[in-house]
Amino acid sequence: MDSQGQDGQRVVWAVVGTGIGPLLLAATKDGLVNVVFHATDAVREQAVERLASRFGTEPVEAPGSPLLAEAIGQVEAYFAGERKDFDLPLDWSLISGFNRQVLRALADGVPYGSVVGYGDLAGRVGQPGAAQAVGMAMGANPLPVVVPCHRVVESGGGIGGFGGGLETKRKLLALEGVLPEPLF
């Protein structure tokens, strides 16, 4: 594979340290395309292989890339408590159909410091009986944190599931003031 891929697509990535552990951020010329939790060596290697397969190009580690600079800055500001909204171009090419529709509704309609139930989000996209499918869409989110799937909770007050782990979800909700910080 070359560094430009089948369509001249370049994929760059970097790892950013955060309060929930290292995040891998990957971007294309169209925007941020992937955020990966717990980006240890093994996870990072697997994520880069998936991106290479999907885009037909070998992703390049490039923390200084202009394609990543704004995303890195905004993620760091979010975890420092200095930013509540992400204003980034997003490359939605890793997700399609219902899942993309749900994630766009989430990104556009559930602000910092608030939560929405799985069923409520299903209703927002015109599929009121699709709470379980919304849960699947959250699990398929290629852009967690930036597209805030941590803000989707069970209607009965439970925290629900989370691809990054429940402790990570709790920390993100605490950062946004939805849950109290753990005492210990």
Q: Cα 6 from chain centroid?
A: 25
Q: CB–CB of 11/5 below 8 Å?
A: yes
Q: CB–CB of 178/170 below 8 Å?
A: no
Catalytic residue, from 23, 149, 152, 173: name it.
Answer: 149
Q: What dihedral angle (degrees, nearest 10) is formed by the CA atoms of 35, 17, 87, 43?
A: 0
Half-sphere exposure of 11 (CA within 13 A, CB side): 27
Tokens of 32: 């941020």
Q: How many C-beta atoms surround the C-beta of residue 82 within 10 A?
A: 9
Active site residue 149: yes
Bridge partners of 16, per DSSP, are 23
CA distance 70 to 76: 10
List residues with catalytic annotation.
149
